[in-house]
Structure 1
Amino acid sequence: MNIFRKIIKQSTLILMSFMFIAQPAFGATIQEMQDQINNKQQQKLEAEQLSHGLGVVASGIAGEIQLLSNQIASIQAQIDINTAKQDDLTKQIDSAVKRLGEQKDLLSANIRSMYIEGDISPLEMIASSKNLGDFVDKQEYRDRIKENISSTMDEIERLKKQLDEQRREVTKILDDQKTLRGTLDQKNTEASAKLAGVNQDKAAFDAQVKEQSSQIAVLRAQQRAANAKLGGSAVAGDPAKGGYPAKWANAPQDSLVDSWGMYNRECVSYTAWKVYQSGRHMPYWGGRGNANQWPANARAAGIPVDGAPRVGDVAVSMAGYYGHVMYVEAVSGSSVYVSQYNYAVNGEYSEMWISSAGLEFIHF
């Protein structure tokens, strides 16, 4: 299976899967909804990769079409040259045929003249001549005329045969060139149809990427709004960004996966690191890493979850599609001081005081 067929097969599967997951499933559980949201980034990435692959295929086909177009132009130029040669040879043959006819007419007239004179007796021919020399000159003149006409006719016949042979050769070359031109035209038509199909598939994936990017942007905006309801004002805080490893902190957001299967510079990646940094066990929750899934994940792992904050807890906000997790640095009455990543959905580190009301706290 060549790359074009592989990409088309993958394209069809991805498009079909997108048709089934792109529409929100009303009545679905939170877990099911989160699974759909979690798939969007992966679907977008796959669509981008397939679009890029189709772009490479399209570029290759376009190059093939350009090569075919150049070959067609070259063979057409040769066809034009040989057609002109064929026309010129035809004109030369027609001229030779005309000259041959004229010489035949002249020979016929000369033969008729000699035939008429042949009815006159030699004595009468001598008598009609001025002298014997005149008689001999007339006889020699008729013989020379006959020889010249015969020679000219032979020359014209040879020329006509030569021209006919040249025209046959040129005609054969033209037929071969026209056949080749037809083959190239057919290949060009097929390649153009293939290119149109690839471009159509690529456009479908580009539209899918655009739609998914729009949906992700909406979800992030909703998450920012949900995070803002936590209250308080975020500050830059610790220049060391809570000790979050530089290999993840300095890489573009979501470009790497951390040790717990979570994307870098997300709130879940940071809090997982903080739990691990404190010497406690942090379970591997990759693939189940949305913040609002952590309370259920913790309970399933036998880790206590309640509404009473303690230093070192992971605070969980269930607001928004993704929710938000923070690391509790200090507790003061009904307020907690937290460190976090991606509060403003921008992949940055920050710290803030917030109310503990409405939050869940995981006691790792």
Structure 2
Amino acid sequence: MKQRSTTPVSHKQATKVALVVMAAVVAGAGIFQTAGTVFARDYEAEIKAKQQEANNYNSQAARLGEMAATLEEELNRLTAQVNALQSQIIESQNKIDSLKEEIKNNEAAINRNRKTMGQILSDMYVDDQISPLEMLASSENIGDFIDKQEQRSSLQGSLNDKIKEIKRLQKKLQDNKAAVERTLKDQETQKAQMAAKQAEQAKLVNDTKNDQAAYSSLASQRNGEIAKLREQQAAENLRSLPRGSVPSGTPGGGGYPGVWANAPLDAYVDPWGLYTRQCVSYVAWKVHSTGRYVPHFGGAGNANQWPSTTSRHGIPNGSTPRAGAAAVMMGGSYGHVMYVESVNGDGTITVSDYNLGWDGLYRNYKRSSSGLVYIYF
């Protein structure tokens, strides 16, 4: 039965997983019979056990989610290192290419200077075939002869020095090239090792996320099983009502404030964040009218949310009926909540509520005390 809060509950289809096949918790149709005595099925115990499993699975999923995030940070760090090494490799390769070009240019310069020196040496050889007296005779004067001799000697020395300098530079370039090649080799080795670590880390991240998804799927499966148990519990709760039917309702009964009781269904939101003339609003008001604390439900006030919502405020709950407690039927999309007026000696309780028949009316009746969650404000 629909019991609205300020935020209706969304419905999601339970995700099916094939990782774990769970044995049935309860055999048969939900009624246990021993030595002729029939016991009602304890839905709350079953639900509590499945909820504990779901909580454990969610806890594992959350832990794996945190682990996956940490592993992903490490993967990002490794990826950044691999990218940095790749940038260094490109830089080293560019240096090698530049040095190769310089070496090539120097080799060309050496060849050009060697050709020049060869020509000079050839000319000098020709000159050397002429005796000093003939050279002196062919010169205009003694000074011209001396200048020619000095020029030949200076040019030869200059060319020798030039070739030596180019060769020295060439050796330096070759040494630099060899050093950069060694650096490049080291960088490529480091990159290969880092890439291997990166691949291992990526696999670990993927495996962890898969495990997280598996646990989340198991939790979803348990929640689906809980929803089915709630539906079965709701059906049994309705069967436990007098004569198997909904009692007649009374407009504006139970002392519920007239401004709410006489207004259309859901016309207002009460001080606890609940829609008026709904079961939740009536019971919240009823508990509050006895001087006890009722928290604001903050969008989590559907009847079947009450046990968990009130628990967060330190309000206990259990399966033992008590006068003054809120009695919650957990089944259905929204559940239903009643105020326990009294606990009777025949296993029944007398309750009051609103909107049991989807009509916004007040009711006061007896019903079975079993299969309910009691909240002890």
Q: TM-score range by the shorter chain?
A: 0.5 to 0.7
Q: Deviations over 1:278-325 (max 9, x none)?
A: xxxxxxxxxxxxxxxxxxxxxxxxxxxxxxxxxxxxxxx9x99xxxxx
Q: Give the Cα separation in 2 of the matches to 1:115 and 1:340.
A: 132
SS at match of 1:19: coil
Q: Give the Cα separation in 2 of the matches to 1:246 and 1:110.
A: 114
Match 1:58 to one of 68, 87, 103: 68
Match 1:353 to one of 358, 362, 365: 365
Give 1:213's aligned residue. Answer: 223
Number of residue pairs the alignment of both structures matches:
286
Any residues of structure 2 matched to 1:1-364 within 5 Å, and which? 19-21=20-22, 37-229=47-239, 230=241, 231-233=245-247, 236=282, 239-240=286-287, 253-254=307-308, 264-266=316-318, 268-269=319-320, 271=321, 329=342, 338-339=350-351, 352-354=364-366
Change (3 A) 1:73 1:330: closer
Unaligned runs of 5+ in 2: 1-16, 33-40, 250-278, 298-304, 333-338, 357-361, 372-377
Change (3 A) 1:213 1:160: same
Q: Is the 8 A contact 1:21 1:36 kept in 2?
A: no
Q: Give the Cα separation in 2 of the matches to 1:152 and 1:359.
A: 110
Q: Give the Cα separation in 1 of the matches to 2:80 and 2:343.
A: 74
Change (3 A) 1:125 1:184: same
Q: Give the Cα separation in 1 of the matches to 2:49 and 2:295.
A: 22
Q: Which amino acid aligns with 2:101?
A: K
Q: Give the Cα separation in 2 of the matches to 1:53 and 1:359.
A: 37
Q: Give the Cα separation in 2 of the matches to 1:207 and 1:327.
A: 38
Q: Which amino acid aligns with 1:253?
A: P
SS at match of 2:20: helix
SS at match of 2:307: coil
Unaligned runs of 5+ in 1: 1-14, 258-262, 278-316, 321-325, 345-349
SS at match of 1:253: helix
Q: Is the 8 A contact 1:336 1:353 kept in 2?
A: no
Q: Deviations over 1:305-346 (max 9, x none)?
A: xxxxxxxxxxxx9x99xxxxx9783779x99652499x99xx
Q: Is the 8 A contact 1:337 1:351 kept in 2?
A: no
Change (3 A) 1:196 1:216: same
Q: Which amino acid aligns with 1:92?
A: E
Q: Give the Cα separation in 1 of the matches to 2:25 and 2:236.
A: 20
Q: Deviations over 1:143-175 (max 9, x none)?
A: 122111001112112222222333333333333
Q: Give the Cα separation in 2 of the matches to 1:153 and 1:110.
A: 14
SS at match of 1:156: helix
Change (3 A) 1:339 1:102: same
Q: Give the Cα separation in 2 of the matches to 1:359 and 1:208.
A: 29
Q: Which amino acid aligns with 1:85?
A: K
Q: Give the Cα separation in 2 of the matches to 1:191 and 1:106.
A: 63
Change (3 A) 1:355 1:186: closer
Give 1:285's aligned residue. Answer: none
Change (3 A) 1:359 1:133: closer
TM-score where L is the length of structure 1? 0.62
More helix by share: 1
Q: Give the Cα separation in 2 of the matches to 1:97 and 1:194.
A: 53
Structure 1: which 4+ aligned runs deviate by more than 6 Å?
31-35, 241-251
Q: Which of the pair has the greater relative contact order for Cα pairs under 8 Å at 6+ separation?
A: 2
Change (3 A) 1:22 1:99: farther
Change (3 A) 1:167 1:29: same
Q: Give the Cα separation in 2 of the matches to 1:24 and 1:57.
A: 32
